Chains A and B, each alone.
Chain A
Amino acid sequence: DIVMTQTPLSSPVTLGQPASISCRSSQSLVHSDGNTYLSWLQQRPGQPPRLLIYRISNRFSGVPDRFSGSGAGTDFTLKISRVEAEDVGVYYCMQGTLFPLITFGQGTRLEIK
Protein backbone atom coordinates (compact mmCIF):
# COMPACT_ATOMS: atom_id res chain seq x y z
CA ASP A 1 0.00 0.00 0.00
CA ILE A 2 1.06 3.58 -0.66
CA VAL A 3 1.64 5.60 2.53
CA MET A 4 1.00 9.34 2.35
CA THR A 5 2.90 11.48 4.87
CA GLN A 6 2.00 15.12 5.43
CA THR A 7 4.07 17.82 7.10
CA PRO A 8 3.52 19.75 9.22
CA LEU A 9 0.64 18.21 11.15
CA SER A 10 -0.30 21.62 12.45
CA SER A 11 0.34 25.02 10.91
CA PRO A 12 -0.41 28.29 12.72
CA VAL A 13 -0.52 31.11 10.19
CA THR A 14 -1.10 34.86 10.35
CA LEU A 15 -4.00 36.18 8.28
CA GLY A 16 -2.80 37.46 4.94
CA GLN A 17 0.42 35.46 5.10
CA PRO A 18 1.25 32.42 2.93
CA ALA A 19 0.96 28.81 4.04
CA SER A 20 2.47 25.63 2.67
CA ILE A 21 1.72 21.96 3.30
CA SER A 22 3.83 19.08 2.06
CA CYS A 23 2.78 15.55 1.16
CA ARG A 24 5.18 12.72 0.43
CA SER A 25 4.16 9.32 -0.90
CA SER A 26 6.02 6.07 -0.24
CA GLN A 27 6.16 5.37 -3.97
CA SER A 28 5.78 7.25 -7.20
CA LEU A 29 2.26 8.42 -7.98
CA VAL A 30 2.80 8.44 -11.73
CA HIS A 31 0.08 6.26 -13.22
CA SER A 32 0.66 3.99 -16.21
CA ASP A 33 -1.39 6.45 -18.27
CA GLY A 34 1.18 9.19 -17.57
CA ASN A 35 -1.00 11.20 -15.19
CA THR A 36 -0.32 11.71 -11.49
CA TYR A 37 -3.47 11.32 -9.41
CA LEU A 38 -2.62 13.44 -6.41
CA SER A 39 -5.41 15.57 -4.97
CA TRP A 40 -5.81 17.99 -2.08
CA LEU A 41 -8.95 18.22 0.05
CA GLN A 42 -10.09 20.82 2.57
CA GLN A 43 -12.29 20.03 5.55
CA ARG A 44 -13.62 23.04 7.40
CA PRO A 45 -14.80 22.53 11.00
CA GLY A 46 -18.06 20.60 11.09
CA GLN A 47 -18.14 20.18 7.30
CA PRO A 48 -17.48 17.29 4.93
CA PRO A 49 -14.26 17.36 2.93
CA ARG A 50 -14.27 19.15 -0.41
CA LEU A 51 -11.96 18.80 -3.37
CA LEU A 52 -9.54 21.70 -3.89
CA ILE A 53 -6.88 20.45 -6.29
CA TYR A 54 -6.70 17.40 -8.56
CA ARG A 55 -3.84 15.92 -10.61
CA ILE A 56 -1.24 17.89 -8.65
CA SER A 57 -2.11 21.40 -9.78
CA ASN A 58 -5.64 21.71 -11.22
CA ARG A 59 -8.05 23.78 -9.16
CA PHE A 60 -11.52 22.28 -8.85
CA SER A 61 -14.63 24.24 -9.71
CA GLY A 62 -15.13 27.28 -7.47
CA VAL A 63 -11.76 27.05 -5.71
CA PRO A 64 -10.09 30.48 -5.24
CA ASP A 65 -6.86 31.06 -7.11
CA ARG A 66 -4.95 31.68 -3.87
CA PHE A 67 -4.77 27.87 -3.67
CA SER A 68 -2.14 26.19 -5.81
CA GLY A 69 -0.58 22.76 -6.05
CA SER A 70 2.79 21.60 -7.31
CA GLY A 71 5.16 18.68 -7.25
CA ALA A 72 5.99 15.48 -9.05
CA GLY A 73 6.71 11.81 -8.45
CA THR A 74 6.59 11.43 -4.67
CA ASP A 75 6.73 14.99 -3.35
CA PHE A 76 3.88 17.45 -3.51
CA THR A 77 2.96 20.82 -2.03
CA LEU A 78 -0.22 22.78 -1.44
CA LYS A 79 0.26 26.52 -1.12
CA ILE A 80 -2.12 29.23 0.00
CA SER A 81 -0.80 32.60 -1.16
CA ARG A 82 -2.64 34.70 1.45
CA VAL A 83 -4.51 32.90 4.21
CA GLU A 84 -8.03 34.03 4.94
CA ALA A 85 -10.17 33.23 7.97
CA GLU A 86 -12.33 30.82 5.93
CA ASP A 87 -9.26 28.68 5.18
CA VAL A 88 -9.14 27.33 8.73
CA GLY A 89 -9.56 23.57 8.78
CA VAL A 90 -7.80 20.32 8.02
CA TYR A 91 -6.14 19.66 4.68
CA TYR A 92 -5.61 16.17 3.27
CA CYS A 93 -3.63 14.93 0.34
CA MET A 94 -5.01 11.92 -1.44
CA GLN A 95 -3.66 9.51 -4.04
CA GLY A 96 -5.77 7.77 -6.66
CA THR A 97 -2.99 6.27 -8.72
CA LEU A 98 -3.46 2.91 -7.04
CA PHE A 99 -7.19 3.12 -7.70
CA PRO A 100 -9.36 1.60 -6.41
CA LEU A 101 -7.20 1.60 -3.29
CA ILE A 102 -7.42 5.29 -2.48
CA THR A 103 -5.15 6.53 0.31
CA PHE A 104 -5.24 9.75 2.31
CA GLY A 105 -2.56 11.61 4.21
CA GLN A 106 -3.07 11.98 7.94
CA GLY A 107 -4.17 15.61 7.61
CA THR A 108 -2.68 19.02 8.41
CA ARG A 109 -4.56 21.39 10.67
CA LEU A 110 -4.38 25.02 9.55
CA GLU A 111 -5.13 27.53 12.27
CA ILE A 112 -4.85 31.28 12.64
CA LYS A 113 -2.22 32.67 15.00
Chain B
Amino acid sequence: AQTVTQSQPEMSVQEAETVTLSCTYDTSESDYYLFWYKQPPSRQMILVIRQEAYKQQNATENRFSVNFQKAAKSFSLKISDSQLGDAAMYFCAMVGANSKLTFGKGITLSVRP
Protein backbone atom coordinates (compact mmCIF):
# COMPACT_ATOMS: atom_id res chain seq x y z
CA ALA B 1 0.00 0.00 0.00
CA GLN B 2 1.14 3.53 -0.65
CA THR B 3 0.59 6.43 1.72
CA VAL B 4 1.07 10.18 1.50
CA THR B 5 1.41 12.30 4.62
CA GLN B 6 1.05 16.04 4.99
CA SER B 7 1.54 16.73 8.66
CA GLN B 8 0.95 20.50 8.67
CA PRO B 9 -2.75 21.41 8.34
CA GLU B 10 -2.12 25.13 7.86
CA MET B 11 0.62 27.58 6.92
CA SER B 12 0.84 31.29 6.37
CA VAL B 13 3.25 33.36 4.30
CA GLN B 14 3.81 37.05 3.71
CA GLU B 15 3.23 38.23 0.18
CA ALA B 16 6.48 38.17 -1.89
CA GLU B 17 8.13 35.76 0.58
CA THR B 18 9.00 32.10 0.08
CA VAL B 19 7.18 29.21 1.70
CA THR B 20 7.82 25.46 1.72
CA LEU B 21 5.06 22.88 2.09
CA SER B 22 6.11 19.47 3.38
CA CYS B 23 5.09 16.04 2.19
CA THR B 24 6.34 12.54 2.89
CA TYR B 25 5.27 9.33 1.23
CA ASP B 26 5.74 5.63 1.49
CA THR B 27 5.67 3.01 -1.23
CA SER B 28 7.31 -0.28 -2.06
CA GLU B 29 7.29 0.43 -5.78
CA SER B 30 10.35 1.47 -7.74
CA ASP B 31 8.48 3.32 -10.47
CA TYR B 32 6.19 6.10 -9.31
CA TYR B 33 5.35 9.74 -9.88
CA LEU B 34 4.68 12.56 -7.48
CA PHE B 35 2.44 15.60 -7.85
CA TRP B 36 1.33 18.74 -6.12
CA TYR B 37 -2.21 19.95 -6.71
CA LYS B 38 -3.71 23.31 -5.82
CA GLN B 39 -7.36 23.73 -4.82
CA PRO B 40 -8.45 27.38 -4.62
CA PRO B 41 -11.81 28.42 -3.13
CA SER B 42 -13.41 27.67 -6.50
CA ARG B 43 -12.66 24.00 -5.52
CA GLN B 44 -11.14 23.25 -8.93
CA MET B 45 -8.18 20.84 -8.67
CA ILE B 46 -5.20 22.26 -10.55
CA LEU B 47 -1.98 20.37 -11.24
CA VAL B 48 0.93 22.51 -10.06
CA ILE B 49 3.97 20.35 -10.61
CA ARG B 50 5.01 16.78 -11.44
CA GLN B 51 8.12 14.77 -10.54
CA GLU B 52 9.30 11.45 -11.91
CA ALA B 53 10.85 9.34 -9.17
CA TYR B 54 13.62 8.09 -11.44
CA LYS B 55 14.84 11.63 -12.10
CA GLN B 56 17.24 13.16 -9.61
CA GLN B 57 16.69 16.66 -10.93
CA ASN B 58 14.05 18.59 -9.05
CA ALA B 59 11.09 19.76 -11.13
CA THR B 60 10.46 23.48 -11.55
CA GLU B 61 7.47 25.39 -12.92
CA ASN B 62 7.95 29.14 -12.79
CA ARG B 63 7.69 30.15 -9.09
CA PHE B 64 7.03 26.57 -7.99
CA SER B 65 9.77 24.05 -7.39
CA VAL B 66 10.15 20.82 -5.47
CA ASN B 67 12.79 19.36 -3.20
CA PHE B 68 12.67 15.65 -3.94
CA GLN B 69 14.63 13.49 -1.51
CA LYS B 70 14.07 9.93 -2.71
CA ALA B 71 15.94 8.16 0.07
CA ALA B 72 14.03 10.09 2.71
CA LYS B 73 10.77 9.73 0.74
CA SER B 74 10.23 13.44 1.00
CA PHE B 75 8.64 15.71 -1.62
CA SER B 76 8.27 19.33 -0.52
CA LEU B 77 6.91 22.22 -2.58
CA LYS B 78 8.57 25.61 -2.53
CA ILE B 79 6.62 28.67 -3.62
CA SER B 80 8.78 31.70 -4.32
CA ASP B 81 7.59 35.30 -4.46
CA SER B 82 4.23 34.31 -2.96
CA GLN B 83 1.19 36.04 -4.40
CA LEU B 84 -2.30 36.54 -3.04
CA GLY B 85 -3.57 34.15 -5.71
CA ASP B 86 -1.46 31.37 -4.22
CA ALA B 87 -3.82 31.17 -1.25
CA ALA B 88 -5.44 27.75 -1.53
CA MET B 89 -5.37 24.21 -0.25
CA TYR B 90 -2.43 22.20 -1.57
CA PHE B 91 -2.41 18.44 -1.92
CA CYS B 92 0.56 16.17 -2.38
CA ALA B 93 -0.14 12.99 -4.35
CA MET B 94 1.55 9.97 -5.84
CA VAL B 95 0.78 7.29 -8.38
CA GLY B 96 2.51 3.98 -8.98
CA ALA B 97 2.11 0.85 -11.05
CA ASN B 98 -1.23 0.09 -9.42
CA SER B 99 -2.60 3.21 -11.17
CA LYS B 100 -4.03 4.54 -7.92
CA LEU B 101 -3.50 8.24 -7.32
CA THR B 102 -3.19 8.62 -3.55
CA PHE B 103 -3.53 12.04 -1.91
CA GLY B 104 -2.38 13.50 1.36
CA LYS B 105 -4.94 15.29 3.51
CA GLY B 106 -3.88 18.70 2.27
CA ILE B 107 -2.54 21.92 3.74
CA THR B 108 -4.27 25.28 3.74
CA LEU B 109 -1.97 28.09 2.70
CA SER B 110 -2.90 31.68 3.47
CA VAL B 111 -1.02 34.67 2.04
CA ARG B 112 -0.80 37.86 4.09
CA PRO B 113 -0.80 41.12 2.10
Partners in one complex: no
Residues of A within 8 A of B (CB): none
Residues of B within 8 A of A (CB): none
